Amino acid sequence: MGARRFWSWLWITLGALYFLVPLYATLHFSLQAKRGTLSLLAYQNVLADPQFYRTFAFSLQMAAATIVTGIVLIVPTAYWVHLRLPKLRPAVELITLMPFVIPAVVLVFGLIRAYSRPPLLLVSSPALLVGGYTVLSLPYMYRAVDTGLRAIDVRTLTEAAQSLGASWPTILWRVILPNLRVAVLSGSFLTLAIVVGEFTLAALLAWPAFGPYMALLGQNRAYEPAALAIMSFGLTWLAMGVILWIGRGRQGGPSELTGTH
Amino acid sequence: MPSRRVLGDWLGVAPFFLFAVAFIFWPAMTLFVGAFRAPQGGFTFANIVALFQPFILDAYWLTIRVSLVTAVGGGIFGFLVAYAAILGGLPRGVRTVLTTFSGVASNFAGIPLAFAFIATLGRVGLVTVLLRDLLGLNIYDRGFNLYSFWGLSLTYMYFQFPLMVLIISPALDGLRREWREAANNLGASNMQYWRYVALPILLPSLLGTMILLFGNAFGAYATAYGLTGGSLNLIPILIGQQVRGDVLHNPGLGYALALGMVVVMAVSIAASAWLQSRTSRWIRRGA
């Protein structure tokens, strides 16, 4: 038993070190903008840069648009598949997993090629970026909503609403969606965490988003990028914390946090 | 009447499928068609054949090596960490903390991750400086470079092993205490239990997750770009350069590159799903 404990602690410690050392190094580095002393100068520089706010606000807007698009697209579809078309479930699941088959860099390549000629000239429209982000968020949004639907009695709720004379939009908006609050919120925050720092789509579609801004700063500055990394990490942490907090006491939490790149 | 209802049913999911066609399948199809189209029009295999030139084969080889090393390395490391937390006799809180941290780390990728590793293992990174000042070991003199194969692999490991922890945890939960007790009662040693009971059950899941990690590293663009600025000859970087401007001087070759990547990803995800389903059959039967 003693030996087993020893090995367990050893591996956990190594894992913790792999996780924490780069964070500590980044934090340490970000505080050294003033020679010979620790200071918050790098953070002040970042926060004084109007580009920081402009790009961050842009990415937040894109994230909001992506979340709304994702909810409007996924909630009715997943609901309908649960209620009426269970045969379609494998096809819908397969589509939501497509971002794992088509990586972001290939997706954006295809989007540019498909939509850069009239009459489908969308390449300079934010709709294309939001569409691409919605594709990237499909696996997380769908899995969250699907898990949420499994936990409620969709059929009974629907029949009860119907017998009271509710229309389909009313059922979705006032009966199903409120019952999926936790699931939709988890999916939304995960989408937020993914979209705000996203680089590939934003850079290759040439949008002034937060991801490309960070990359540009990384080429020109030394300490500010480290400060940005810490702030970005804080944001990811916040999003995950909110997801765990709103989903507390539920089964199947960890798998909803899974993401790929 | 029934046909009207069927039509209504399909209308409910139509927006989703239309979206999928517009933003996934139609763009993918245009790339695939482009991969087989000659510059003057007409069908050709020339672009696919052109993939087999040394420069591009080198890129595939480097991308495969990075993906393989981080999938196997991250997979084994992640498995050991998850095993220690779940079955290693540690306090229950350890697992909760590990799950949370893994959720954050597996989503902490791209440009900020590259910055973090530059601050850690770059030329003036904390660990580089500590090793030099405390141990007199200058890793850059010894051939280490963050902006090359091993540096990139160490960086990818940061999101690879937490992903393994998250995916393998349910499978570890599925290992039933009764199986171990039964094996022990029949006189099996610890090694024998692992060799004949636990590992055969976990192996498909382990391999499946490693293949998933392979695909995860194979398609990664942002982290590689943030770290190397596009100087490393990786397939995603090549595709990115091709998108920014026709660096290959052959659009068709760019589409063929994209097609090649999707084929690799599709094969790995299919193999992964098949292997995962083999484990879940066992776990479900046991539960």
Mean pLDDT of chain A: 89
Let me know: does A239 contact A190? Beta carbons within 8 Å.
yes
What is the spatial distance between Cα B180 and Cα A89, in angstroms, rounded to a whole number?
37
Let me know: does B153 contact B180? Beta carbons within 8 Å.
no
pLDDT digits (tens, 9 = 90+) for B220-261: 999 999 998 878 899 999 999 999 887 888 888 999 999 999
Using pLDDT thresholds of 50, 70 and 90, give the confidence band for residue A261: low
Among the partner-chain residues A22, A88, A193, the one whose CB lies closest to the CB of B117 is: A22
Using pLDDT thresholds of 50, 70 and 90, give the confidence band for residue A19: very high
pLDDT digits (tens, 9 = 90+) for A139-154: 989 989 998 999 899 9
Q: Which residues of A touch B104 (CB under 8 A)?
A: 233, 236-237, 240
Instruction: Give the chain B residue whose CA is nearest to the CA of A71.
Output: B16
Cβ–Cβ below 8 Å for B226 and A199: yes
Please count the other Cβ atoms lying within 10 Å of the Cβ belonging to residue B36: 17
Cβ–Cβ below 8 Å for A193 and B107: yes
Q: Give which of A8, A69, A80 to mutate to test B binding, by max B Cβ within 10 Å.
A: A8
Among the partner-chain residues B19, B100, B225, the one whose CB lies closest to the CB of A240 is: B100
Instruction: Give the chain B residue whose CA is nearest to the CA of A245.
Output: B100
Is residue A253 scored above 80 in pLDDT? no
Non-local CB neighbours of B7 within 8 Å, separated by 6+ positions: none
CA angle A55, A138, B218 (to 5 degrees): 80
Non-local CB neighbours of B176 within 8 Å, separated by 6+ positions: B286, B287
Q: For residue B87, what are the CA distances in angstroms to A181, B20, B95, B188?
A: 34, 42, 10, 18
Low-confidence ranges of chain B (pLDDT < 50): 1, 285-287
Non-local CB neighbours of A210 within 8 Å, separated by 6+ positions: A55, A56, A58, A59, A196, A197, A202
Please count the other Cβ atoms lying within 10 Å of the Cβ belonging to residue B37: 17
Among the partner-chain residues A23, A240, A243, the one whose CB lies closest to the CB of B116 is: A23
Let me know: does A105 contact B254? Beta carbons within 8 Å.
no
Instruction: Give the chain B residue whose CA is nearest to the CA of A193.
Output: B107
Cβ–Cβ below 8 Å for A214 and B254: no
Q: What is the pLDDT at residue B96?
A: 87
Q: What is the pLDDT at residue A254?
A: 45
Q: Which residues of A touch B117 (CB under 8 A)?
A: 22
Tell me which residue has tokens 């410690």: A13
Cβ–Cβ below 8 Å for A109 and B254: yes
Q: Which residues of A touch B9 (CB under 8 A)?
A: 80, 84-85
